[in-house]
Every structure is written in structure tokens, then in C-alpha cells.
Amino acid sequence: AVPAVSTAPAPAPQAAPTLAPRTATLLVLGILAGYLIQGVSYMYTEGLTLDRVALGSLLVALAVGLQLWQTFPNASRRFPLRHPYAVLALQIAVALVPFSFFGLHWMGEAGLAAGAALLVLPRAAAWAAFAVLSVADELIRIRLGDSGFTEIVYMMLLPPMTGLVVFGLSQLKDVIAEVHRSRAELSELAVTAERLRFSRDLHNLLGDNLSSISLKCELANHLITRDTTRAQQEVAEVLGTARRALADVRTVARTYRPASEYTDAMS
């Protein structure tokens, strides 16, 4: 009987994070850290008292932290994001409510909330919430006395620009991670297909030869005491069949690609 060749794929090793997903994650973290620094430094330049700066800094950090939670919902096994709508509502409150306490000294984090709305809400509702948050931020500022043309234009563009940047980077991170997973799966499928091909070729090449060798060996064993000449002929045929089988195996082996070549090509 021909020994069976196992075709079950070996467990794929856990792929280490490659450069592209790691770079995308660091880029998102860097942008959010920039918004944190920008929000805190804005209040410092406005000459607020130290206690108000400390409170404002905590609120800015909370806004950025909530956005970080929305962008990386499964980053923490202990605290996965289970209620994105509730977190979005809290983000909106943190973005708009502090205006009543800080006035125009509060830079506002409506852009982060607008970006989170695009990530969390259904498409139609997401863009509606995006527009409402951008307009609400500017209307609050105008009501609080922001009347300079330059300031109005700048602050009017800031929330939608921030929201689009946050949304785009978050989507980019997910797309890159998905591409990385797809490449790993394609690599595993290629390795499995090559193993199946090699197993099939070996079975086709060796099956008949090994069956013939087995039968001729049994016949030579019976003839060795009765007809030495015939037994020698059978042994010679067995030797020729074995040599052909060896040559066939070497031919197949030369066309077989190691599994490492597929994983290297996909990485």
C-alpha cells in the first residue's frame, strides 16, 4: 500500500505586525496626540487661571481619549468598546458643553466628535451629524462674540477638516490591517495548494511503481528456491522500477517550491 501523505496545512504562525499596519497606527496616534497638544496649548495662550487650564486640559484629554477608543475599539481586551453610540454622545457633550464654562477660551473638540460620527453612525445619519456638529460649533462661537472674519473662517473650517482627517486615518488604518490579513491568508492558501500538488504528484508517480515493486518482490520470494534465473529477472525489474521511481521523485522535487518562498513573497 502507498503511504498516505498528509495534506493538512500546518498551523500558521501568528504574523508579527508589519511595517504598514504599525506605521498607520503610529500615524493615527501621532495625529491625536497633536490635537491634544493643540487643545491644551490654546488655553495656555489665552491666559486662563491655572485651575481652569488644568480642568480644560483634562477635558481635552478626555475628548482625545474617547476618540482613541472609537478609533481602536478592540485595542483593550479588558475594556472593548461595547456602546459606540453612548461614547459618541459623550464626545459631543465634551465638545460643546465646556463652551458654557470656558467661553471662547475653549478651542472645542467638535471635529473629533464629527469624525467619530462618520465612524459610528449609518451613512446618511453620519453626514448629517457631521454637518450639524460643524455648524453648531461655529454658531456657538459667533454667539459668544467671535466676530472677526479671519477667526470665523478659520474656526468654521477647523471642525470639518479635523473630522475628515480623523475619519480618513481611522479608515486607512482598518484598510491596511485588512490588506495585511488578506495577504497572510493568501500566503497560507498558496502553501496549502503547493502541498496538495506535491502530494498528488507523489501519489501518481509512486503509487503504481510501489505496487509493482511489492508484487515483483513477492514473486521473486516465491521463485528464489524454485527458479533462480526467473527470480533474478524479477529482482532486476524491481531494481529498474525503483530507479525510475527515484528519478521521478527527483523531477517532482526540483519543481516543488518551499513554503517559505510563498510567505516571503506575500510579506
pLDDT (tens digit, 9 = 90+) per residue, 147-160? 777 878 877 888 88
CATH number of domain containing 204: 1.20.5.1930
pLDDT band (50, 70, 90) for residue 14: very low
pLDDT band (50, 70, 90) for residue 256: low
Q: Residue 1: pLDDT above 80?
A: no
pLDDT band (50, 70, 90) for residue 125: very high
Q: Are residues 143 and 249 in the same domain?
A: no
Q: Residue 19: pLDDT above 70?
A: no
Q: Are residues 122 and 254 in the same domain?
A: no
The mean pLDDT of 35-39, rounded to a whole number, is 87
In a domain, 228, yes or no: yes
In a domain, 154, yes or no: yes
In a domain, 9, yes or no: no
In a domain, 2, yes or no: no
Q: Residue 10: pLDDT above 70?
A: no
Q: Return all residues near 190 (Cβ < 8 A) that are at least 6 apart.
A: 262, 266
Q: Residue 43: pLDDT above 60?
A: yes
pLDDT at residue 106 in the model: 83
The mean pLDDT of 115-132, rounded to a whole number, is 91
Q: How far is CA 74 from CA 30, 31, 85, 228, 238, in A?
A: 19, 19, 16, 77, 63
The mean pLDDT of 57-65, rounded to a whole number, is 91
Cα–Cα dist 219/45, whole Å: 100
The mean pLDDT of 236-251, rounded to a whole number, is 80
Q: Are residues 210 and 142 in the same domain?
A: no
The mean pLDDT of 174-188, rounded to a whole number, is 81
In a domain, 199, yes or no: yes
Cα–Cα dist 85/90, whole Å: 9
pLDDT band (50, 70, 90) for residue 138: confident
In a domain, 90, yes or no: yes
pLDDT band (50, 70, 90) for residue 91: very high
In a domain, 120, yes or no: yes
pLDDT at residue 260 in the model: 53
Q: How far is CA 57 from CA 72, 197, 208, in A?
A: 22, 62, 79
pLDDT at residue 261 in the model: 54
In a domain, 51, yes or no: yes
Q: Are residues 127 and 197 in the same domain?
A: no
Of 108, 73, 75, the residue nearest 92 (C-alpha): 108
Cα–Cα dist 163/28, whole Å: 13
Number of domains in the chain: 2
Q: Does pTM top 0.85 for this prediction? A: no
**Could you tell me the residue range of the domain that residue 216 belongs to?**
183-266
Cα–Cα dist 238/206, whole Å: 13
Q: Are residues 205 and 120 in the same domain?
A: no
Q: Are residues 134 and 215 in the same domain?
A: no
Query: All 3 cell numbers of residue 207?
Result: 503509487
pLDDT band (50, 70, 90) for residue 9: very low
Cα–Cα dist 176/156, whole Å: 31
Most confident of 53-67, 163-177, 205-219: 53-67
Q: Are residues 33 and 128 in the same domain?
A: yes
Cα–Cα dist 117/92, whole Å: 9
Q: Return all residues near 33 (Cβ < 8 A) that are at least 6 apart.
A: 64
Q: Residue 2: pLDDT above 60?
A: no
Q: Return all residues near 84 (Cβ < 8 A) that are at least 6 apart.
A: 70, 73, 119, 120
**% the chain with pLDDT above 70:** 86
Task: Answer with the one of 135, 166, 181 that is the final residue of a domain.
Answer: 181
Q: Residue 132: pLDDT above 60?
A: yes
Q: Are residues 116 and 23 in the same domain?
A: yes
Query: All 3 cell numbers of residue 5?
Result: 501523505
Of 184, 192, 231, the residue nearest 8 (C-alpha): 192
Cα–Cα dist 110/95, whole Å: 5
Residue 4 burial (CB count, 10 A):
8
Q: Which residue has the higher pLDDT, 25 or 204?
A: 25
pLDDT band (50, 70, 90) for residue 222: confident
Q: Are residues 151 and 31 in the same domain?
A: yes
Q: Are residues 207 and 109 in the same domain?
A: no
- Largest pairwise CA distance in the chain: 118
Q: Are residues 192 and 147 in the same domain?
A: no
Burial letters for 23-46: b for 16+ Cβ neighbours within 10 Å, e otherwise?
ebbeebeebbeebbeebbebbeeb
Q: Are residues 155 and 191 in the same domain?
A: no
Task: Answer with the one of 146, 181, 216 that is the final residue of a domain.
Answer: 181
Task: Answer with the one of 148, 181, 214 that is the final residue of a domain.
Answer: 181
